[in-house]
């Protein structure tokens, strides 16, 4: 699957240190293969949460499409579901 980042998600990746950025890029690669702790958010049709340590990646995906749009990346305490 193809991963697209919103401006907000890209801005967060650009703001973190190199080690964290590498960790998050590896997580995005894992997400493109639909592996890991992925949960659909309650009350939504196509919005999901991917958990990596204390980071969260919020994304949308419509079944049948090959594109995942990452809406937001942030820490557990700062993410808004």
Average pLDDT, the chain: 93
φ, ψ for residue 21, nearest 5 deg:
-60, -45
80 assigned to some structural domain = no
Q: At what angle do helices 7-15 and 18-32 cross, to 10 degrees?
A: 140
Q: Is the pLDDT of residue 40 over 90?
A: yes
pLDDT of amino acid 68: 92
- Is residue 81 predicted with pLDDT exceeding 80? no
pLDDT score at 19: 96
Helix/strand/coil percentages in the chain, nearest 5: 30, 35, 35
Domain membership flag for residue 67: yes
Question: 62: pLDDT confidence band, cut at 50, 70 and 90?
Answer: confident
What are the backbone dihedrals phi and psi of residue 78, each rounded to the nearest 5 degrees, phi first? -105, -5
Q: What pTM was computed for the model?
A: 0.89
Q: Is 81 part of a structural domain of the chain?
A: no
In a domain, 7, yes or no: yes
pLDDT at 63: 81
Check residue 80 and give its pLDDT.
Answer: 79
Number of domains forming the structure of the chain = 1
Residue 39 CA, chain-centre distance (Å), reads: 11
What residues make up the domain containing 66? Answer: 2-75
Assess if residue 12 is contained within a domain: yes
DSSP 41: P
Distance CA 68, CA 35 (A): 13
């Amino acid at each position: 699957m193809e991963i697209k980042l919103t401006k907000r998600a890209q801005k967060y990746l650009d703001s973190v240190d190199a080690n964290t950025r590498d960790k998050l890029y590896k997580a995005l690669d894992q997400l493109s293969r639909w592996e890991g702790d992925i949960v659909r958010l309650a009350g939504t049709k196509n919005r999901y949460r991917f958990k990596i340590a204390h980071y969260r990646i919020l994304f949308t995906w419509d079944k049948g499409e090959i594109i995942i749009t990452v809406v937001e990346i942030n820490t557990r305490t700062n993410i808004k579901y």
